[in-house]
Structure 1
Amino acid sequence: EKKEKRKFWIALSREEIEEDIFVMTGSRPARRPRKRPKNVQKQIDSVFPGLWLVGITADAYRVADTPAKVLSFFLSFFLSTVSAIYLFATELNRCRFILAAVKPT
């Protein structure tokens, strides 16, 4: 029977990694990763066109259901606005009627 080898690893802190790189290279590591040369990046993009899509998942496009409170708030706002417009139009028509009756001919 073949026994499975146990895997062993140690998580290093950022400071420990920086210290190890400094000891090996004699300089501190770069703060941000260096970009590839443009021609190399173009070749990689032509071979693997969707490589940059790795971070995009369906969860990024998921829209949460609208809570009932929010929906009721907007519905009440809409209805009150429609009511206000109706009252304003009714009042405006009444004023026109009064002005037409009072206007000398």
Structure 2
Amino acid sequence: MESRLKVLRLFKVLHRTRQDVFKDDIRALTAARNKINEEFRKNMQETKAENINQMIKFGSDVEVVLRETVIQGVHVEDNKILLRPRDSLLLENVPYSDTPRKKA
């Protein structure tokens, strides 16, 4: 029963991440939804706890990759793409220094 809850939680997290990562891109949203649903349906009859845990781990890794590495790009002209990074991907740009700063 506990693994069932983990699977359902992962399913919801993947769909939420999909909606955040592919925001305003109907084609990518649809493709990602179909792939997530297809993979979960394909493995719905799995009963071995070891296999289920491996698939949960794989699904969690996929969610992290989507959340942390995918950036949307929008074609604005022939040879130009506008990148739309999410706020969670933007980091503070600290200039390089040969002498390290002291931590407060």
TM-score, normalised relative to structure 1: 0.25
The structure richer in helix per residue is 1
**Structure with the larger strand share:** 2
Q: Provide TM-score, normalisation by structure 2.
A: 0.25
RCO comparison, higher one (Cα < 8 Å, 6+): 2
